[in-house]
Structure 1
């Protein structure tokens, strides 16, 4: 660990991967003694030695494919490395390595926060009801690659929906055509899934009045909660007493949810199994089997109406918090 003149400690020479952060002992008080772990090079990224080989290969007039074969890297990796570091004529290994460290530092301000001119252009186009895709496409046509006046549509969406970034005003969300209050994940799609209306679904409007009065126990509200890494659990809450049943399910598919509900609800006394209200999720498409197994009459809330299952929704939110 090499000490430098200003009282800080340079850690870049310590590790096999290289650590560029410097621990300034005098600045620990300013951050109330909380030390942020030093930046480390991610496994698989280009090292300084590899960048030196790339620089020598370019100077010798070698192709990207030949350099890649010598380093055991794809030619596309070499091509991208050179392209984002000033090209063949101006590529320098040390500069490229320093630039890679700076890019990898977190947290970073987003592009719109760093560029007020670009931010103003994006905000003006949003007020004119342009979509983020149209804005990004127009910027690509008007400005060359590598220009500071380019931004992806995902960056615009994140700046709109993640208000903690403090970049675009929340009121600009009203100009988006989707009308969604949050950004939908690109992974949350129904590609390859069989989607349809729930067959013979009975509307909540037909649920007996005694369920609305909450005077007689045995009327339940249920929902399927999805967690990380494809985990899930069903919650069933009794409307009168708020008694909650957690149902372990092996998957979020119809068969798993039907089997889990049948297993857990049959553990309750028969007089406490009167009705079950669910949302329009296809995980309960086999509601007739649930009724046959448990005696619960299944009713479905209206689409996009979570307040019709307020007991369950409030229970889920309190448990999440």
Structure 2
């Protein structure tokens, strides 16, 4: 079913959708709460670029439907234009133009005239970029150079200080990109934005959208002190590293020895249940003294952490949001790993044997933090 096949939202549903989106709720939970098809809500947001369309309103001073009905009745009764205008408190020229534009005195119908007037009702005025080709060319050129709308707006203000017609706000640039009915900037230019989004997100804090929930989690502050000071082996840090086409491999680094394990994920699948099972299969091969805890970030791939703990007996602890330094050993090792697994490589073309060979090579490189011993040597000493 294409976007054009989705049902139309009622005005009441539209109001509720925007109310929730502006409160920070994502589209999917919004649709669920309102009993709507998620595709319907998504298609609507794509059509309007994530920006609520300005409602069309009658311009002040325009004739209302009730006034048009009075005109129609007056004409049917044989009254003159001046008599009808006086009864309405309107100028005779206003009534005359209304009648002449809608069939004349014999064919004038109030309902039909009102529908025609609504169709001609004022729409949002054309944006500055649509009316100014020179300004539009500059904005497009800067976007293709991956300048942000804020940078473009600031640059224009500095370089054209005495030419208001050559200045435009960053919000106008965003709106013109996302709302294609404004007819100025091409939608494809959104690909040059840092986020690459095709719809505008409301400002403010985003509420949880229900994806990848992690019930019964333990914070990193609850991790045993022995893990913090690296005095006892068996405490691991984990993450996913991605290659071309979002192809992942799981990385596990032991905190005290910096020993690395790479875990292939079947067909590049990084759903939570697949990750939990793959990690469990890998760590159950470890000696008991090397299986004490695992620290992970807040990625959705670890939503099934309880499944992993049940299978292995290893408790999972979670870092603060956007705090990769709390898994410093893992982050540093992932940086080294990029020498072997650059982002241009599709990891789905590699086998577990390939990953094992890469991990072995890294584990046999001396590390300054280990006094230039290798992770393999440090692990061997621990096991002895």
Q: TM-score scaled by structure 2? A: 0.40
User: Which structure has more helix as a fraction of its residues?
Assistant: 2
Q: TM-score scaled by structure 1? A: 0.47
Higher Rg:
2
Higher relative contact order (CA 8 A, sep 6+): 2
